Structure formats: structure tokens, C-alpha cells
Structure 1
């Protein structure tokens, strides 16, 4: 069996733009569409800002799990554009999830928040991002989520 290995890629901080548009009672749960106001990312091989043209199509399932579905544009400090999309899950105890929903700070160890990221770019310098899968651990802050992103080798 081959061992799964990873390498730190970046820290990604999103700033959300509340309140979200909310669609209650869909067949899959309550859906919220949260616009991304901006953000920033930094790592050894890339850094920059998040353009304010993305959103998170959040699904709050009846079992208490939140399904994340994010699409956004990263702009590097050298003005290259990278499309980023990720899907993920957040769940935990009812108390932890309720506190997050109220905008309170909750220790990230008290709930599960993981995502899988993919990238798309025409930039020659960052073209390698087209050919990787990345995963992240997340922490939902009142201003928006912060992710610690790792390239899967």
C-alpha cells in the first residue's frame, strides 16, 4: 500500500459578506448563498488576495452537517489569476454548531471542518496547480473561514 503524503501549500482566509441569501426547506436541507467579500492567502510558493467575486453555496443538511461548495478567484501578488473551487464538510456537537451559527468563536478542535480543493489557471508560473489535489483543515471565524491547505503528493 502506498502511503498518503502531503506538503503545506498555503493558509487561506476568506471574508464573508453576511447576511446570506437563505432558501429554507429545500429537499436536501436549508441552502445559504454567502458572497465572498475578499480575503488573502499565503504560502511558500504563492500568495495574494481573494477577489470579491466568489461565493459559498452552503447546504445545511437535516442531520446537522454543513456541506460547503465554494468557487472563487485568487489573484497572486504578481497579478496572476487562479480559479479555486472546493467542497467540504463541517459538523460537530449541537452546541458547537449552534455557537458557530451565532457568530461565536469555537475552538476548531471541537468540530470537524475539512475540504478538498482544486485549481485552474492559464498562468505559466502557477500551471502546476492544475495538476494537484489539495486538502485543508478549517476553522470558522466570525469574519469567515480560515483554511490550512496541503498539497497531496
Structure 2
């Protein structure tokens, strides 16, 4: 079993072979870029005296055994943590920056979401294609619809379609393709590709497929999330070609309604 702090030491260095003829590995500190022979004890001693490392630990990992050793002279014994499963790590939040990354350059910009489009589409009854190796397959065609946004408004051209793939737990993957027509004179036409998942408790998802009960379902009891991309050759709307949107939707008896947020 490794000594206390060995994991912190190894995480703070990257190992490499300086020359092909070298028999021993070298180690470079990710925080100050110093290079030394690979030796855990000497690497630990280096970290105890490395200001960039100690400052990073104070900010991002104040419980670091190396930091406590540098501050108090002796580390506080700690229980070895149990390895968390992936879903537990996800539910407890992002673990933080890669060690040393922040100290070597500017932080990665955080994207923002801006509400940009609201869209409603009336649907024909679904057509069941049958059970496939991936799940139950359905096709749904679009009757019509309308939309408005920060950059325009208009209608949904009849004839769009959506492919649905229903998993064994009733989670449903949707893949839609349709065309928006603007109210300009002359109008512009914008093709839309939209994919995502409708997920939730099986009993809720089952109710969503019943047109006589779907309007009684609380939209917060399930998740209907998608991402959207658009394409057009119209000079007035070329900025849409490079945009990205994520959406949240609700299903009703005769239509679906989406709010789309632009990622900026």
C-alpha cells in the first residue's frame, strides 16, 4: 500500500523518457514545469516547496495531504476513499479542473444560454413501423406549425417528419427534419434538424402516448430535451448556419411545444 499522499504526488507530475537511451524515467511538475528524476520521495519534497502547487491546492483542494504536510509538518491520517461509480460522480458535480491546467493558461470560457425560439407543431397520428433490433420504431408526419424568435417568425412547412425509437423502458429517441418558412417578402426557407430524448418514469411515458390522458401529465414529471441545427442559403439568415441550440419540450394531445435556447 502506498504512503499517504502518493496519489497526490503522482497526479502532480507527468512522466516521460527524456532520451531513448535513458534507463530511468523523468518527471515534470505540472505546476512549475520543473523536471527531475522519477522518485516519489523527491517529488513529494518538491511539491512541499512548490508555490504554484501549494497555491493551487489552497484554492481547489484545501484537504490535500501535501498541503497539510507543508503547513503543519505532518499530515492528518485519512481513510482511503472508496471509488465512486460514474453515476455517483455525476450526481455530486464536476470534479474540477485537470491538475495544473489552470496555472498554465487562461480558463475555458463558460457557454451561456439565450432563449431564442419558440415553436409548436401539429402532428398526424404516429405510424408504427414495428419492432427493430434497437427498439420499437415509429414515424410521425407534421401537419403544420408556427414559430417566432428574436430574429423572425413564420410557419412550419407541412410534410416534416419525425422518426421515433422507443426503448424497452419507453425512453424515446426522436429525430426530426422539417422546414421553417419566414414571414418575409419573399419568404426564406430554413431546414431544421432536431434530435433528442424523451425520458422519465415508464408510467409517465406510457401516459404520454395516450392522447386522452397526455394533457393531464405534469411537464416536470418527464424530460424532453433536444438539440437543433439549422441550414439556409438565404443571405438574410446565413448566421443561422453556424448556430447551436438546445431545447426543452412538452407533448400535448395534438401538438408539441418547444423552447429553444441558443448556445453562445
- Structure 2 unpaired stretches of 5+: 1-107
**Secondary structure in 2 aligned to 1:128?**
helix
Give yes or no for the alignment of 1:127 onto 2:238. yes
Residues 115-148 of structure 1: CA deviation (Å, up to 9, x unaligned): 0000000111111100111010011111121100
Q: Whole-Å Cα distance in 2 between the matches of residues 30 and 139 of structure 1? A: 21
Give yes or no for the alignment of 1:54 onto 2:160. yes
Q: Whole-Å Cα distance in 1 between the matches of residues 168 and 209 of structure 2? A: 15
Asked if the contact 2:170–2:206 (Cα under 8 Å) also holds between the matched residues in 1, the reply is no
- 1:63 deviates by 2.8
Q: Whole-Å Cα distance in 1 between the matches of residues 177 and 135 of structure 2? A: 20
- 1:11 deviates by 0.4
- 1:98 deviates by 1.2
Asked if the contact 2:174–2:197 (Cα under 8 Å) also holds between the matched residues in 1, the reply is yes
Asked if the contact 1:137–1:148 (Cα under 8 Å) also holds between the matched residues in 2, the reply is yes
When you count strand as a share of all residues, which structure comes out higher?
Answer: 1
The 4+ residue runs of structure 1 with deviation greater than 3 A are none
Q: Whole-Å Cα distance in 1 between the matches of residues 113 and 234 of structure 2? A: 23
Report which of the two structures shows the higher radius of gyration computed on alpha carbons: 2
Residue correspondences, number? 152
Give yes or no for the alignment of 1:26 onto 2:137. no
Q: Whole-Å Cα distance in 2 between the matches of residues 30 and 23 of structure 1? A: 8
When you count helix as a share of all residues, which structure comes out higher?
Answer: 2
Match of 2:197 in 1: 89
**Secondary structure in 2 aligned to 1:97?**
helix
Normalising by structure 2, report the TM-score. 0.56
Give yes or no for the alignment of 1:108 onto 2:219. yes
Residues 22-69 of structure 1: CA deviation (Å, up to 9, x unaligned): 122210011110001110101221210000121000111123210000
Greater length-normalized contact order (CA 8 Å, ≥ 6 residues apart):
1
Asked if the contact 1:15–1:145 (Cα under 8 Å) also holds between the matched residues in 2, the reply is yes
Give yes or no for the alignment of 1:146 onto 2:252. no
- 1:87 deviates by 0.4
